[in-house]
């Protein structure tokens, strides 16, 4: 019999299949978030444009942080005590926390830049 290799062929390990599934799920979430129309007033000034941009970027960073946090938790759960996998999960946790910190600091950074620019 001729063996057909597909997305879930025996040659790919469970970690590779899970990584693909997570990448597809993340892509679908990102596309959905970008396609949902945002209700926003038309920008009438440069300050409004900067504020809208800040809000959009902050929301995107929070969404990426949540996805990274989910991936990190999943990796930690399936690590089965493997030190390499635990380290990968910890680095994903750190990346998620950095994303949340940047999203939280975005208003302060924009305020400083607005003060400098005028």
What is the mean pLDDT for each group of 10 consecutive residues in the chain (118 residues)? 51 72 76 59 73 79 83 88 89 85 81 82
Task: Confirm whether 38 is domain-assigned.
Answer: no
The total of structural domains in the chain comes to 1
Identify whether 33 is part of a domain.
no
3 dihedral zone (left: phi>0; alpha: psi -120 to 50; beta): beta
Q: Is residue 9 part of a domain?
A: no
Residue 97 to residue 113: CA distance in whole angstroms? 24
Angle CA(36)–CA(64)–CA(29) in degrees, nearest 5? 40
Do the domain assignments include residue 95?
yes
Q: Is residue 52 part of a domain?
A: yes
Query: What pLDDT does residue 105 have?
Result: 84
pTM of the model: 0.54
């Amino acid at each position: 019999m001729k063996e057909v290799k597909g997305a879930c062929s025996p040659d790919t390990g469970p970690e590779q299949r899970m990584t693909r599934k997570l990448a597809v799920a993340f892509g679908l979430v990102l596309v959905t978030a970008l396609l949902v129309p945002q209700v926003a007033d038309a920008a009438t000034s440069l300050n409004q444009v900067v504020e809208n941009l800040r809000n959009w970027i902050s929301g995107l960073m929070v969404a990426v942080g949540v996805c990274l946090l989910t991936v990190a938790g999943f990796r930690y759960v399936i690590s089965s005590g493997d030190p390499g996998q635990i380290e990968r999960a910890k680095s994903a946790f750190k990346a998620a926390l950095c994303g949340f910190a940047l999203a939280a600091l975005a208003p302060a950074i924009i305020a400083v830049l607005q003060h400098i620019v005028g």
